[in-house]
């Protein structure tokens, strides 16, 4: 009998414990049901309904951190970034966060503040995130972008260098461009020497960094160190012949000042060899001979260029002007007719305004980007002859 006295209360106690355990697990299941519903709605892009599901979830379980995180994200996506940052900020005060949750919250906060236009705070959260999660290059990319937008070139350079290190990929040409933007700022505030050091570093990183050559040359010329400036511009014509047209006029001007005419011609001839399909060197060389009064020679250069550049319209203009100078009106007429005819003899091409795909037939459904009525068909297409 005495055994029963012990057993009955023990049994009751066991039942109570079991009941509560069962109740708890049922409750948990219910909770995760509304959480899962929220996730599903979120994936489907039904934000308002997802918000309701997560709100339901957090009133049931105030410990469901992930539900709070998602709720904040949804508010931000619905244009309520202030509300999002308040929710995410409150979460940072919680003690029971896992490392993963903590990092996620910081990342969300950066986006919340960015959406509010508060780049200072966004940068701070990203900085904190990266200090803790050093391999998060997705966040690092956003961080870099923000620094670039704000013109914080020095820090941007270091961040990109770190990114290249982690990815094991070269970002040298981008790094070089960042250096030139930094240099541009020094030049603007009269610190020529500092700017040139940065430009030289940029060229070391990427010998095809056009803006570095342009800026450094300009800076030397402005400080009356023409020879050094010309040296960098000349290097540009060798390293990046396709960009040489950006500098030819200034280069010629500087060389003319010092009477160095033969060098001008050497540079142009060299460029024609390096990039025979570019119109700029022919044009420059033609004008050079025009200045020297050697009209027939200039015309020959134009014609050589026209053959290589698909009747470049600038070369045509120069040729006609030169013929005028020689008084050859008959030839002007013939050449004008020839050029006009050549412009129209090429096949007509319709192009898609959306993806730039080209077609000889008029189309109403683009086979490449699948857009309707994106081809300009109401007016006859321009011929595509005058490129270069
Ligand atoms: Zn298209």
- CATH number, domain at 232? 1.25.40.10
Give 243 Cα–ligand 1 centroid separation in angstroms.
30
Give 309 Cα–ligand 1 centroid separation in angstroms.
28
Phi first, then psi: give them for residue 377, nearest 5 degrees: -115, -5
Residues 287 and 250 in one domain: no
Dist. CA 307–CA 301, nearest whole Å: 10
Give 379 Cα–ligand 1 centroid separation in angstroms.
18
pTM: 0.74
Q: Are 379 and 350 in contact (CB under 8 A)?
A: no
The whole-number pLDDT of residue 387 equals: 39
**Residue at 61 is within a domain:** yes
Residues 218 and 300 in one domain: no
Q: What is the pLDDT of residues 78-88, one digit of tens each?
A: 999 999 999 99
The whole-number pLDDT of residue 386 equals: 40
Give 357 Cα–ligand 1 centroid separation in angstroms.
5
Residues 319 and 366 in one domain: no
Residues 207 and 281 in one domain: no
The whole-number pLDDT of residue 193 equals: 95
Residues 107 and 214 in one domain: no
Domain that includes residue 190, residue range: 176-264
Domain boundary among 244, 264, 284: 264
Give 349 Cα–ligand 1 centroid separation in angstroms.
14
**Residue at 312 is within a domain:** yes
pLDDT greater than 60 at residue 310: yes
Residues 185 and 113 in one domain: no
Give 380 Cα–ligand 1 centroid separation in angstroms.
18
**Residue at 166 is within a domain:** no
Q: Are 160 and 185 in contact (CB under 8 A)?
A: no
Give 356 Cα–ligand 1 centroid separation in angstroms.
6
Q: Are 170 and 161 in contact (CB under 8 A)?
A: no
Give 362 Cα–ligand 1 centroid separation in angstroms.
12
Q: Angle at which helices 226-239 and 261-274 pack, to 10 degrees?
A: 20
Q: Are 160 and 174 in contact (CB under 8 A)?
A: yes
**Residue at 258 is within a domain:** yes
Residues 260 and 297 in one domain: no
Dist. CA 67–CA 57, nearest whole Å: 7
Q: What is the pLDDT of residues 251-306, one digit of tens each?
A: 999 998 888 888 889 999 999 998 888 899 999 999 999 999 999 999 999 999 99
Residues 281 and 195 in one domain: no
Give 364 Cα–ligand 1 centroid separation in angstroms.
10
Residues 130 and 236 in one domain: no
Q: What is the pLDDT of residues 187-201, one digit of tens each?
A: 999 999 999 999 999
The whole-number pLDDT of residue 382 equals: 58
Alpha helix (H) ranges present in the chain? 2-43, 47-60, 65-77, 81-92, 99-115, 119-132, 137-149, 153-167, 172-188, 192-205, 210-222, 226-239, 248-257, 261-274, 279-291, 295-308, 313-325, 329-345
**Residue at 318 is within a domain:** yes
Give 359 Cα–ligand 1 centroid separation in angstroms.
10
Domain count, the chain: 4
Domain boundary among 264, 298, 320: 264
Give 375 Cα–ligand 1 centroid separation in angstroms.
8
**Residue at 9 is within a domain:** no
Report the percent of the chain where pLDDT is more than 70: 89
Give 297 Cα–ligand 1 centroid separation in angstroms.
46
Q: Are 155 and 121 in contact (CB under 8 A)?
A: no
**Residue at 303 is within a domain:** yes
**Residue at 225 is within a domain:** yes
Give 360 Cα–ligand 1 centroid separation in angstroms.
14
The whole-number pLDDT of residue 338 equals: 87
């Amino acid at each position: 009998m005495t055994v029963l006295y012990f057993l009955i209360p023990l049994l009751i106690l066991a039942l109570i414990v079991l009941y509560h355990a069962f109740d708890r697990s049922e409750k948990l299941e219910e909770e995760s049901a509304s959480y899962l519903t929220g996730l599903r709605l979120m994936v489907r892009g039904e934000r308002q309904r997802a918000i309701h599901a997560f709100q339901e979830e957090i009133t049931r379980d105030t410990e469901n951190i992930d539900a709070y995180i998602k709720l904040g994200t949804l508010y931000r996506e619905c244009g309520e970034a202030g509300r999002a940052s308040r929710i995410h900020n409150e979460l940072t005060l919680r003690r029971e966060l896992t490392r993963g949750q903590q990092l996620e919250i910081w990342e969300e906060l950066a986006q919340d503040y960015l959406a509010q236009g508060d780049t200072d705070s966004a940068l701070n959260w990203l900085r904190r995130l990266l200090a803790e999660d050093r391999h998060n290059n997705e966040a690092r990319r956003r961080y870099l972008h923000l620094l670039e937008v704000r013109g914080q070139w020095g820090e941007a350079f270091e961040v990109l260098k770190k990114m290249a290190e982690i990815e094991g990929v070269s970002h040298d040409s981008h790094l070089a461009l960042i250096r030139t933007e930094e240099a541009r700022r020094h030049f603007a505030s009269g610190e020529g020497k500092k700017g040139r050091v940065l430009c030289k570093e940029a060229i070391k990183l990427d010998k095809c960094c056009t803006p570095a050559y342009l800026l450094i040359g300009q800076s030397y010329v402005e400080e009356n160190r023409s020879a050094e400036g010309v040296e960098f511009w000349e290097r540009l014509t060798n390293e990046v012949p396709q960009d040489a047209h950006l500098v030819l006029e200034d280069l010629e001007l500087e060389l003319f000042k010092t009477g160095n005419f033969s060098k001008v011609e050497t540079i142009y001839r060299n460029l024609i060899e390096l990039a025979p399909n570019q119109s700029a060197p022919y044009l420059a060389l033609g004008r050079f001979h025009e200045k020297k009064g050697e009209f027939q020679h200039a015309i020959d250069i134009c014609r050589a260029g026209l053959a290589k550049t698909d009747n470049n319209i600038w070369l045509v203009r120069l040729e006609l002007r030169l013929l005028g100078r020689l008084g050859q009106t008959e030839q002007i007429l013939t050449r004008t007719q020839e050029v006009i005819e050549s412009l129209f003899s090429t096949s007509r091409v319709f192009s898609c305004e959306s993806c730039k795909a080209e077609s000889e037939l008029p189309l109403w459904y683009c086979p490449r980007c699948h857009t309707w009525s994106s081809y300009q068909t109401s007016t006859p297409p321009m011929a595509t002859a005058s490129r270069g």
